[in-house]
Chains A and B, each alone.
Chain A
Amino acid sequence: MVEDETLIEEVVVLGLEDAGYAVATAHTAEEAIASLEKTDSTVRAIVTDVNLVPNKLTGWDVARRARELTADIPIVYMSGASGHEWTSHGVPNSVLIAKPFAIGQIVTAVSQLLNAGGPTVGE
């Protein structure tokens, strides 16, 4: 779970933990990519904010790197902007949830992607 805004991070983590997931967090794209690249990484799905200020890398980069490491890993983007960038920057079979969202939307998206093991769940 990658989010630079602590309050938002907190709520998403609580929501995912309530749903039974163990959550590892990162505040920047760089941090997230570094932890994904560890050989003992057990990450099964990624929830990432898109605009991770003030760093150069964005949530789009996190997802791209994650897919290089694990071909089908589920990706859920969170973004305040509308989804038109998603079509060009998002990885295939990902979900974009617009901010502000209800925590249930994130949990549902993660579960559906994990259960489906692939196909896109449209937002």
Chain B
Amino acid sequence: MSTTLPVRNLEEANLLAQAIVNTIPEPFLVLDADLRVLEASRSFYEIFKVEPAETQGCLLYALGHGQWDIPALRLLLETILPERVAMDGFEVDHDFPAIGHRIMLLNARKVLYDESDTMAILLAFRDVTERRAIEHEKQALLERSEELRLQNEVLLQEMKHRVGNSLQIIASILLLKARAVSSDETRFHLQDAHQRVMSVAVVQQHLDMTNGIDQIEVGTYLEKLSAGLGASMIGDNQPVTITVVSDSGMIPSAKAVSLGLIVTELVINALKYAFPEIHHQAAIAVRYTIDQNDWTLIVSDNGVGKAPNQAPKADGGLGTTIVAALAKQLDAKVTMKTDPAGFTVSVARTLAAAPLLEAA
């Protein structure tokens, strides 16, 4: 479909062309074959701060004290354009005396007439200085944040190393003290304290592997923790197998510390009291199950169990206190059961028991 412009003669066509040129918000020039300005848009005068009188009829390169005598522009108009009809997005980077440093994208187009060997060149400018500045700023910000991220990574590694080392020193002191004291009871206390430090450390090590994310996978964590307990608590004279069966799921590190310490206390207790005599299949089972927001931790052994009316052991008191305190912190309930098959402690958190504390 073709439409005819509402012009009746050359004069009207000229008026229309002029109106179009002046309406375009971006600076616009019409040049003749000699690169003399035939017409400039209103925006050209405004943006480059030049007057029509000193523009029209002048050679482009002579405009405004030669401010358009730019090598890149010469390249575009004298080399590129003669070979092709149009060129879009040609970038010119220049310091203009009146308006300062600008980055322009130029669109140039040759207009050839059928019945004449003259031609016109249309030249449109788009000022992308600010856009480029924003892009550069964005790039610089990206680079800076990447730099910060790497710095953080290094600091984090350094922190991990220091925390690991510090915990090792504390553990070493407790162990050295345990060797030095003459009282068996004191020695057991020191060994237990050592074990508690080690249990907290397991959380630290697991966080290491999950790259600073404050969540750890509960199954692998409990396995690692139990392996550590086994390695340091079980002597050659009484082998005890510790097994872990756990649902998989991510838990926050704070919860992991509490859970890990509960497991530590319960396993220490089992190792201390469940097998007073040699038992060839001595075993401790750690089970962790997840049911939506609820969870249950069960630590059981196949040892001698606990007499129902038995008073808490003097040195077992601390372990029991710790388990109770940690369970409370986790909104969980502790239940103990003893039968001929052994002793079972379950620590359960059910939503019904603590409906308001889910967010904690």
Contacts and interface: CB of A to CB of B under 8 A. Distances in A.
Q: Do A and B come from one complex?
A: yes
Nearest to A9: B172
Contact of A100 (B164, B208, B231): B164
Interface size band for A: 20 to 34
Interface string A94-109: 0000111111110010
Interface string B96-115: 00000000000000000000
A80 B162 contact: yes
A79 interface: yes
Interface string A41-58: 000000000010000000
Interface stretch (B25-33, B123-131, B197-205, B255-263): B197-205
Interface in A1-20: 5, 7-8, 10-11, 14
B49 to A, nearest CB: 60
A88 interface: no
Contacts of A11: 171-172, 175-176
Interface string B162-181: 11110111111101100100
A82 B205 contact: yes
Given A103-B175, A103-B232, A98 B164 contact: yes
A7 B208 contact: no
A102 B172 contact: no
B168 A79 contact: no
Given A10-B172, A11-B172, A104-B232, A98 B161 contact: no
B268 to A, nearest CB: 13
Nearest to A98: B205
Interface string B121-153: 000000000000000000000000000000000
B208 A82 contact: yes
A81 B232 contact: no
Residue from B162, B164, B198, B205 whose CB has the most chain A CB atoms within 10 Å: B164
Contacts of B175: 11, 103
**Most chain B beta carbons < 10 A, residue from A8, A51, A100, A104:** A100
Contacts of A5: 165, 168-169
A8 B165 CA distance: 9
B161 A80 contact: yes
A80 B179 CA distance: 24
Interface of A: 5, 7-8, 10-11, 14, 51, 79-82, 98-105, 108
6 contacts: A14-B179, A81-B160, A100-B201, A102-B231, A103-B175, A105-B232
Interface of B: 157, 160-165, 167-173, 175-176, 179, 197-198, 201, 205, 208-209, 228, 231-232
Q: Which 4 A-B pairs have the closest CB atoms?
A: A80-B164, A102-B232, A82-B208, A80-B161
